[in-house]
Amino acid sequence: MRVLGIETSCDETGVAVFDSDQGLLANTLHSQVKLHADYGGIVPELASRDHIRKLLPLIRESLAYANLSKTDIDGIAYTGGPGLAGALLVGAAVGHSLAWAWNKPAVAIHHMEGHLLSPLLESSPPIFPFCALLVSGGHTMLVAAKRIGAYCVLGESLDDAVGEAFDKTAKLLGLGYPGGAALAKFAEQGDPKRFCFPRPMLNRPGLNFSFSGLKTYTANTLREHGLEAAADIACAFQDAVVDTLVAKCRRALQQTNLNRLVIAGGVSANLALRAQLKIMGVQENVQIYYPRLSFCTDNGAMIAFAGCQRLMAGDRADSRFNVQPRWPLSSLSQL
């Protein structure tokens, strides 16, 4: 089966074509970083309008790159949620319109399932069952995955997600938007021994996360020591986040008795996190899997792949399409 995938959940327009026999045939992406940078964060209305401008040209580009026509496509997959409502509606409307016009089936894909399955696009994919740490945008969660669609959420963020905490802290430090990568780079200049920030919720049982208090602690430290200590503060903040994520991953693996761990989402590209997880993997005899760096952020390839699996299993979107800005991962149907 050959599936056209559309991703428009937030601030990246992604289109890809995945073939169940030949693999990924095309993958195109347009980022809105420059569009939102002047505002210090994502402006939903601007995001939606930019998706409208870019989506059809990217679809044409993807089909041309793969040397395909509409008759070569067997199904359409689009991100149905979670995400920004207006942005999601752009992808859903275009996806459904193409499906109706081309007389092809369509399916709505959960954005976080796309991230969870993205390492399966690699040459050495993980085998089910496995644990997954999903750290993308407004989401931070630990998931036990038995098979596609059979997901048990073990823990999630009670307030700010990791990506949000990185961006807000970067803004406090004057690093601009988007802040995650900039803060990680800036932290390399800091003294890791100068400050020791709290590791939130590690002294409590369970696998939930909370990073709003760490953000406040960072702001108070900055207020006390000033911008001359900014690099040291960035280093301490990142160390606290990484230690917390690694400790919760270790706890999740021990509780589930699993020895495979998937890390996906934008924060999975963080080099400090990868370094500490590698150490933990050796200590716990755990295999760790990541998507390639270009698939850590939002992309159409993960939607096309997940859509292909669901369409082959018989999943279909309702003709009266809808999007779900909030969509529990555990509510998905099992394949």
pLDDT tens per residue across span 253-273: 999 999 999 999 999 999 999
Quick one: tokens of 295?
């698939």
Q: Is 135 annotated as a binding residue?
A: yes
Q: Is 36 annotated as a binding residue?
A: no
Q: Is 134 annotated as a binding residue?
A: yes
% of the chain residues with pLDDT over 70: 100
Per-residue model confidence (pLDDT) at position 177 = 82
- Which CATH class for the 2-117+295-331 domain? alpha beta
Q: Is 115 annotated as a binding residue?
A: yes
Strand partners, 28: 15
Mean pLDDT of the 59-76 span: 98
**What residue spans define the domains of the chain?**
2-117+295-331, 127-290
% of the chain residues with pLDDT over 90: 94
Per-residue model confidence (pLDDT) at position 119 = 98
Report how far residue 176's alpha carbon sits from residue 172's, in angstroms, rounded to the nearest whole number: 9
Per-residue model confidence (pLDDT) at position 208 = 97
Q: Is 300 annotated as a binding residue?
A: no
Per-residue model confidence (pLDDT) at position 318 = 85
Q: Is 191 annotated as a binding residue?
A: no
Q: Cβ–Cβ contacts within 10 Å for residue 196, how many?
A: 10
Amino acid (1-letter code) at residue 135: V
Mean pLDDT of the 2-16 span: 98
Report how far residue 16's alpha carbon sits from residue 32's, in angstroms, rounded to the nearest whole number: 18
Q: Is 298 annotated as a binding residue?
A: yes
In the predicted model, what is the mean pLDDT of the chain? 96
Per-residue model confidence (pLDDT) at position 40 = 86
Per-residue model confidence (pLDDT) at position 321 = 80
Amino acid (1-letter code) at residue 251: R
Mean pLDDT of the 232-248 span: 98
The CATH code of domain 127-290 reads 3.30.420.40
Q: Is 9 annotated as a binding residue?
A: no
- The burial class, CB within 10 Å (0-12 / 13-18 / 19+), for 50 is buried
Determine how β-strand 2-7 pairs with β-strand 75-81. parallel
pLDDT per position as a tens digit, 198-231: 999 999 999 999 999 999 999 999 999 999 999 9
Per-residue model confidence (pLDDT) at position 319 = 81
Q: pLDDT band at 286, cuts 50/70/90?
A: very high
CB 36 within 8 A of CB 326: no
Q: pLDDT band at 320, cuts 50/70/90?
A: confident
| Fold equal for 2-117+295-331 and 127-290 | yes
Residue 15: pLDDT over 90: yes
Q: Is 268 annotated as a binding residue?
A: no
Residue 299: pLDDT over 90: yes
pTM of the model: 0.96
pLDDT per position as a tens digit, 167-181: 999 999 999 888 899
Per-residue model confidence (pLDDT) at position 288 = 98
Per-residue model confidence (pLDDT) at position 206 = 94
Q: Is 90 annotated as a binding residue?
A: no
Strand partners, 255: none
Residue 333: pLDDT over 90: yes
Q: Is 11 annotated as a binding residue?
A: no
pLDDT per position as a tens digit, 18-50: 999 999 999 999 999 999 988 888 999 999 999
Q: pLDDT band at 137, cuts 50/70/90?
A: confident
Residue with tokens 């969870």: 116
